[in-house]
């Protein structure tokens, strides 16, 4: 009853706006096509009212659809859970270990990160998923992962029905000649005549649904294995990335100590229970977390602060030499730039000749960084960050010389 009331409430129905996005529209469209075609084809292949097997098959189809949609909407509308606005730790001395979010006017709790799409700090943020048009985090991580498990299983069942339907419906329509094979797509030559006629349109729709089902099985199945891998380590996608950067930072500075991830409970089962519970409600409050023995309570946030400082030291300043209008796939910047545009929802930033950019990471033909703003434009704007084509900028002379110096020293040795 409580779940039903929460579904009706939908935070004053504002959450329904999440459906008006290309991600949920495509995802629900795929679910609707595969489920509808599977039910129609199951009637053609295995009539549910005549045999026990047919009834079980049809009930299982309905069961897959209901469970997939339940976990999908749960992940979308329950949401990840957000850090309360104005939050700060009980011990004021702990604020030195935490980052402050100017947008939320609060400190970022351990394992939380600010999402530019949701415009809030998300508790135990994993990533922002365009398919549910929401973040995956503390409260909906289990529902999201179950959706990733159930969707491929349901698609495998549907794909089997599609294959068996096409086989049984085409079996009596095939005529073999000495050098040809002909298919008669008129009414089936069998008794009794099927309730739903299987013509050319039905064959094409079944074939299309089979392609969707197989594609979904492969793509979503891979995402499920990736999620399970990080869950069994009690990590998130962002924390896995932070851990990799920590190893890179230690190697770059040639430090002796190794980074120890503080939230690994020591066993996969204990890590698993941090996300999946019988009640469906994750353990804890999303703000404080149990840590491994011997680790500092804020060791991950301390590492983030070190990486942030290190990124400033290692970032490169570029000068804009060519205007860029912020297009996702610019045609006027070259074929390679057009076809290698980053597959991400992260924004592109407009550039004007003479501006300066601080690049923090990049690809072969694209860079990611912050635009260096004048004081006049800085009021009310924390930063302008995003992707831009590499061929629109050039390194500033001071940074180019700094990069050349270590190479010259190495050559002299």
CA distances from 354 to 51, 321, 372, 392, 396 (A): 75, 6, 11, 11, 11
CB 88 within 8 A of CB 101: no
Is 398 catalytic? The answer is no
């891998």: which residue's tokens? 229
Nearest-angstrom CA–CA distance, 299 and 306: 11
Beta carbons within 8 Å of 26's beta carbon, 6+ residues apart:
131
Do 145 and 231 meet the contact criterion of CB atoms below 8 Å apart? yes
Distance of CA 22 to the CA centre of its chain: 14
Place of tokens 């851990």: 243
> Which three-class secondary structure state does DSSP give residue 32?
helix
407 CB burial (10 A radius; 0-12, 13-18, 19+) = exposed
Cα 6 from Cα 12, distance rounded (Å): 10
> What are the angstrom distances between the C-alpha of 165 and each of 121, 168, 247, 402?
49, 5, 53, 67
Tokens, residue 250:
């230690």
Token pair of 253, please?
């500075």
Smallest CA-to-CA distance from 103 within 385, 387, 380, 384 is with 380
Instruction: Give me 333's structure tokens.
Output: 């910047």
Considering the candidates 115, 121, 129, 392, report the single residue annotated as catalytic.
129
Residue linked to tokens 């329509």: 173
Tokens of 258: 């190794």
Structure tokens at 182: 């002909």
d(CA 79, CA 124): 12
For residues 350 and 371, the answer to whether their CB atoms sit within 8 Å is no
Active site residues: 129
């Amino acid at each position: 009853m409580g779940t039903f009331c929460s579904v009706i409430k939908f935070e004053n129905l504002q959450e329904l706006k999440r459906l008006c996005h290309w991600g949920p529209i495509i995802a629900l469209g795929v679910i609707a096509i595969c489920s509808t075609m599977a039910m129609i084809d199951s009637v053609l292949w295995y009539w549910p009212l005549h045999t026990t097997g047919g009834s079980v098959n049809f009930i299982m189809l309905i069961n897959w659809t209901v469970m997939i949609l339940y976990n999908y909407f749960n992940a979308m509308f329950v949401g990840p859970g957000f850090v309360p606005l104005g939050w700060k730790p009980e011990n004021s001395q702990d604020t030195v270990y935490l980052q402050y979010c100017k947008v939320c006017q609060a400190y970022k709790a351990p394992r939380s990160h600010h999402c530019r799409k949701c415009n809030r700090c998300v508790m135990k943020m994993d990533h922002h998923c365009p398919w549910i048009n929401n973040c995956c985090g503390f409260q909906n991580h289990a529902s999201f992962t179950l959706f990733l498990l159930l969707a491929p299983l349901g698609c495998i069942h549907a794909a089997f029905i599609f294959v068996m339907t096409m086989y049984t419906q085409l079996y009596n329509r095939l005529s073999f000649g000495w050098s040809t094979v002909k298919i008669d797509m008129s009414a089936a030559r069998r008794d009794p005549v099927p309730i739903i006629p299987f013509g050319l349109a039905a064959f094409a729709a079944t074939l299309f649904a089979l392609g969707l089902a197989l594609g979904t099985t492969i793509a979503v199945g891979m995402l499920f294995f990736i999620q399970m891998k990080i869950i069994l380590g009690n990590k998130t996608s962002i924390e896995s990335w932070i851990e990799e950067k920590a190893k890179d930072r230690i190697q770059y500075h040639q430090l002796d100590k190794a980074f120890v991830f503080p939230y690994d409970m020591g066993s996969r089962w204990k890590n698993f229970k941090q996300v999946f519970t019988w009640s469906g409600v994750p353990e804890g409050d999303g703000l404080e977390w149990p840590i491994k023995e011997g680790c500092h309570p804020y060791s991950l946030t301390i590492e983030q602060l070190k990486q942030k400082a290190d990124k400033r030291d290692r970032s490169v300043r570029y000068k804009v030499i060519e205007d860029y209008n912020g297009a996702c796939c610019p045609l006027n910047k070259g074929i390679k730039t057009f076809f290698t545009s980053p597959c991400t929802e992260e924004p592109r930033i407009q550039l004007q000749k003479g501006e300066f950019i601080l690049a923090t990471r990049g690809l072969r033909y694209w860079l990611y960084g912050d635009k260096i703003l004048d004081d006049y434009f800085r009021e009310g704007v924390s930063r302008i960050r995003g992707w831009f084509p590499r061929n629109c900028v050039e390194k500033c002379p001071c940074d180019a010389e700094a990069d050349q110096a270590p190479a010259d020293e190495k050559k002299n040795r």
